[in-house]
Amino acid sequence: MNARTAAALAAAGALLAVPAASHGAIVAFGYGGATGRTPIVGSDQHLPPLAVTKDYLVSPAMGANIVALRQSGRYTSDIIGTASRATTYLDRWLDRTCGEKASVAKVRRCKAMVVSDMDDTLVSWYQYYADPAVNWTENPPVQDQIMQACGTPAIQPSINVLRRAKARGVAIVVISGRKQAQAPYTASCLEKIGVTGVKQLILRSPQQEALTAEVFKSRARAGLERQGWKIALSIGDQVSDMSGGHADAGFLLPNPMYFIP
């Protein structure tokens, strides 16, 4: 990370002050080598600690903690705060990368891009997992049916980040761990929740299903860079949505329900 990027990120982090009593801190996380060159800003509301290294799904015994977090308003506050910082960072990144107050046409020529995750970034699975009949367990066939129906509520603050990016002329790419076979209804759901004009939807091919999320997503971003795109930021609910480099910054939304390396 160069000095200008560090300064801009620090400024973005300082702009929105949310009272400490009402939310978990939105801070710059230091993951050492795990994140490549990408600094990450986000919420500290995570169960288990982000130090875990294996797949994790919250146990039913911990589910009440997540319900309490949601009902307290802290989860929503953290999402709003992180998304606001992402928008501020994007505007300043565009100023220094594409020219101060660059026109839409100039930003497009600059090949500026924002990358986003899908699940628990643009749509929420909380209602599914918290349903007493589900009780914080996985059921892939049922979850696929929910995806087909776009039955997951939209997460508006992160959607607004993408809308702001699009309004400025920035290309939007969604990189998700969903399978390529799920592409038609994933694309339809994006349109339904108001994420329109997506440049590319990148999902896992059968050959990529064994890759970790970090490897799959960082390779996808590297491929976009090879096409000449400049990735301002990646926004997601997992460290693996932005680790591995190939983005100027990462913005991490709270997700205490599960962890995907």
% of the chain surpassing 90 pLDDT: 72
- At residue 150, the pLDDT reads 98
* Residue 38 pLDDT: 74
Average pLDDT over residues 167-190: 98
What's residue 45's pLDDT? 67
Tell whether the model's pLDDT for residue 20 goes beyond 80: no
Neighbours of 81 (CB within 10 A): 24
Q: Would you state the structure tokens that stand for residue 255, as one six-digit string?
A: 């997700």
Q: Does the pLDDT at position 155 exceed 50?
A: yes
Kindly state the average pLDDT of the residues 216-235. Answer: 97
Alpha helices in 137-200 (DSSP H): 140-148, 156-167, 183-192
Q: Answer whether 24's CB lies under 8 Å from 228's CB.
A: no
- Going by C-alpha positions, the residue among 244, 246, 241 that lies closest to residue 255 is 241
Residue 40: how many other CB atoms lie within 10 Å: 25
What is the rounded distance in angstroms from the CA atom of residue 77 to the CA atom of residue 22? 8
- C-alpha–C-alpha distance, residues 169 and 137, integer Å: 40
- Pick the residue with more confidence: 50 or 109? 109
pLDDT at site 28: 64
Domains of the chain (ranges plus CATH)? 3-259 (3.40.50.1000)
Separation between Cα atoms, residue 124 and residue 161, nearest integer Å: 16
